[in-house]
Amino acid sequence: MPAVVGSAPGKIILFGEHAVVYGRPAIAVPVTQVRAKVTISADPAGPRGQVRLTAGDIHLENTLDALPPNDPLAAAIRCTAEQLGIIQLPAMHLRVSSTIPIASGLGSGAAVSAAIARALSGFLGCPLTDEQVSQIAFKVDQLHHGTPSGVDNTVIAYAQPVYFVRGQPFERLLVERPFTVVIGNTGIASPTSQAVGDVRQRWQADPLPYERLFDEIGEIVGQARQALETGRVEALGPLMTRNHALLQQIDVSSPELDRLVSAALQAGASGAKLCGGGRGGNMIAMVEAEQAAAVAAALRAAGAVNTIQSTIP
């Protein structure tokens, strides 16, 4: 039997992270320059039912049975098998690779889960729909974040720009005019669960100021949606910078993120903000295509370990 491949892109949250956990909208888009990929081949020599897992990027070489139930790769495999009603998997070898930086706001976890769900369901002859893939990635995210909003799994599984409100069917977002962003990586791994947990603690202790900040972020998301749908991309930069200021007030930025945001603005970006959970990970800058190289160079000079240029959609 030939090997089966499943893959899924990375993502960035253009507007609305953190507030989206509290019911406000968010806008997210796929980043197709980076991807998670899973290849599954039959392992006829392997013992019956043995699933071998190799994930070179995280130095993992093990069998499914030996992994703890909350291991994200094991969880994605088990959720997919459960979805398909399969009790015993055939002997197989899963190879996971990804160019999406880990724990840095680009959705690496959800992309790996989605790629596993696609490859495994394809290998077993019953490919899952994007919605089923999204649900599996969501369940795996729940094991780690506790309270994920669902925006990551949605944008990654559907690989389309989305307008997302927790608990509601998502809307595909029409991006009337393409635009360019530069993504800069602080190189600091920052688990989303930590930042989300800290925000929750502070919100529980003193909800009102946080509710106001989330409302303000929600308003920015509404304005950004209009700008995207009407092709007024020049409005997006200032909205991003305002969104970043609100994320600073929620205390999910960091000196390194702030330094990259300032460097991008000084190099001519029309706006910039952290993206994802924050505290580290990545930021994005809104640029004219011809400025992208200069902004990327300024980001690297200010400490970015790598940059990605992406045109959306």
What are the catalytic residues? 152
User: Taking the alpha carbons of 88, 94, 100, 104 in that order, is the dihedral positive or negative?
Assistant: positive
Contact between 18 and ligand PMV by CB under 6 A: the answer reads: yes
Measured CA distances, 28 to 48, 51, 279 (Å): 42, 34, 19
250 binds ligand PMV (CB under 6 A): no
Least distance (Å) between residue 291 CB and ligand PMV: 25
Q: Any contact of residue 107 with ligand PMV (CB under 6 A)?
A: yes
For ligand PMV, the closer CB: 284 or 295? 284
152 near ligand PMV, rule: CB under 6 A:
yes
The β-bridge partners of 30 are 11
Task: Give the whole-angstrom CA distance, residue 161 versus residue 16.
Answer: 14
How crowded is residue 45: how many other Cβ atoms within 10 Å of its Cβ? 7
Q: Which stretch binds ligand PMV (CB under 6 A): 69-77, 114-122, 147-155, 212-220?
A: 147-155
Distance in Å, CB of 252 to ligand PMV, minimum: 8
Q: Which is nearer to ligand PMV, 24 or 242 (CB)?
A: 24
Residue 169 CA to residue 207 CA, distance in Å, equals: 27
274 neighbors 266 (Cβ within 8 angstroms): no
Of 17, 38, 175, 269, the one binding ligand PMV by CB under 6 A: 17
Q: Does 134 bind ligand PMV (CB under 6 A)?
A: no
Secondary structure (3-state) at 215: helix
Binding mask 257-296 for ligand PMV (x = CB under 6 A): -------------------xx-------------------
Residue 196 in the binding site for ligand PMV (CB under 6 A): yes
d(CA 294, CA 138): 37
CA distance 36 to 140: 15
Residues 6+ apart with CB under 8 A from 28: 11, 12, 13, 14, 151, 152, 154, 155, 161, 162, 164
| Smallest separation, CB 104 to ligand PMV (Å) | 8
CA nearest to 151, candidates 71, 223, 221: 221
Size of the site for ligand PMV (CB under 6 A): 16
Query: Which member of 4, 14, 21, 220 binds ligand PMV (CB under 6 A)?
Result: 21
Task: Select the span of 10-18, 54-62, 64-72, 243-251 touching ligand PMV (CB under 6 A).
Answer: 10-18
CB 51 within 8 Å of CB 147: no
Closer residue to ligand PMV, CB minimum distance, 270 or 310: 310
Q: Which of 148, 218, 237, 271 binds ligand PMV (CB under 6 A)?
A: 148
User: Per CB under 6 A, does 220 bind ligand PMV?
Assistant: no
Residues that bind ligand PMV (CB under 6 A): 13, 17-18, 20-21, 105, 107, 145, 148-149, 151-152, 192, 196, 276-277
